[in-house]
Amino acid sequence: MTVYLGDSGGIEIERTSGEPVRLTLLSGDVSTAKRRFSPEEDVLGVFISGDQVDIATVDGSELHLIDGHGYPDWRGFIFVDALGGLRLFNTFQKAIAGEMQNAVALVDWPSRQNITITTRSDNFTPLAKITSYDFTTERETVRTDILGSQFVQQYEAGLISGQGTINCFWEWQYQLCDPENQATGVEFSAYLARLCVRITQGADFIGRFFVYKDRNPGTNSVWHEARCVITSVSISVDVDQAITSTIEFVTTDQFKLLTGVPPAYLLQEDGISLILQEDGVSRIIVAD
């Protein structure tokens, strides 16, 4: 009999896409020295640092916000500061840090420009600092004796739902002096806390909850995959203990219990080499 320990599990989450948010840029809203811009509308609670976004002009004209950019739209990652100011970055890791020197250079256009910002996502990111999690699936039986025959087959199996709890150490970012500060591109528990109070874009995410994940790429794993909504977030602060966070969620759509190789990798015909799944940016072959 094979026995697995809990340290072979883990969670990966994907940020979900939202509806376009229309914003207005006026002359003086852009600080080229600080590589920061503040639209007329309040964006606190709308976007979260690390969101991948598409920025486009409403009328299809050239987007003047980005220095040296001659197209009507731009795709990248966003950082939101405490005052609602925004910085743009080319990678998720840089957007989480939000450092000015790594931000995209901006231009202060002298006239009004209407833009839309749409959140999007196309990859899963590991959730850091997890101590434990539980994932429960349940089936709700439905009475079919009062339904017509055409509905019986659809409902007689019942409705499946899921819920769970994530326990982790509270973390919002690595400090520059932190020896663990490595560009691994992980999500922090603070993201889920901010997700809980986000109204405009919603509080949902797509999660992979690994029961067992082999450390060697291309080997079999076991995981649940589902679209989830954050229902509550609690933060525990004790004088002599590490600050911890507990996140509760429910599933909102069909979920799956999967076994095999996670779809981040595609096996080649030789049965040994792996190729990363295409994201429109790069194609990298990883040899065994």
| 151 has pLDDT over 60 | no
| 75 has pLDDT over 70 | yes
Where do the DSSP E strands lie in the chain? 10-15, 21-25, 30-31, 36-37, 52-57, 73-80, 86-89, 113-120, 125-126, 130-140, 159-169, 204-212, 221-236, 244-251, 256-260, 265-267, 274-276, 285-286
How would you classify the pairing of strands 130-140 and 10-15?
unpaired
Are 31 and 39 within 8 A, CB to CB? no
CA dihedral sign, ordered 57, 58, 59, 60:
positive
As a whole number, mean pLDDT of residues 229-238 equals 90
One CATH from 2.30.30, 2.40.30, 2.60.40, 1.10.3470 for 17-120: 2.40.30
The neighbour count for residue 11, using CB atoms within 10 Å, is: 23
Q: Write out pLDDT tens, residues 205-230.
A: 889 998 888 777 667 888 888 888 88
Domain ranges in the chain are 6-13+125-286, 17-120
As a whole number, mean pLDDT of residues 106-127 equals 86
Kindly indicate the confidence band of residue 177, based on its pLDDT and cuts at 50, 70 and 90: very low
Side-chain-facing half-sphere of 280: CA atoms under 13 Å? 4
Is pLDDT larger for residue 201 or for residue 232? 232
As a whole number, mean pLDDT of residues 39-66 equals 88
pLDDT at 257: 85
Distance between CA atoms of residues 246 and 226, nearest Å: 19
> What CATH architecture is 6-13+125-286?
Roll (2.30)
As a whole number, mean pLDDT of residues 23-48 equals 88
Q: Name the token pair of 47.
A: 């976007």
Reported residue count of the chain is: 288
**Residue 190 DSSP SS3:** helix
The neighbour count for residue 142, using CB atoms within 10 Å, is: 15
Is pLDDT larger for residue 125 or for residue 265? 125
Kindly indicate the confidence band of residue 145, based on its pLDDT and cuts at 50, 70 and 90: low
Kindly indicate the confidence band of residue 288, based on its pLDDT and cuts at 50, 70 and 90: very low
Is pLDDT larger for residue 7 or for residue 88? 88
pLDDT at 188: 80
Are 39 and 109 within 8 A, CB to CB? no
Least confident of 31-35, 141-145, 153-157, 249-253: 153-157
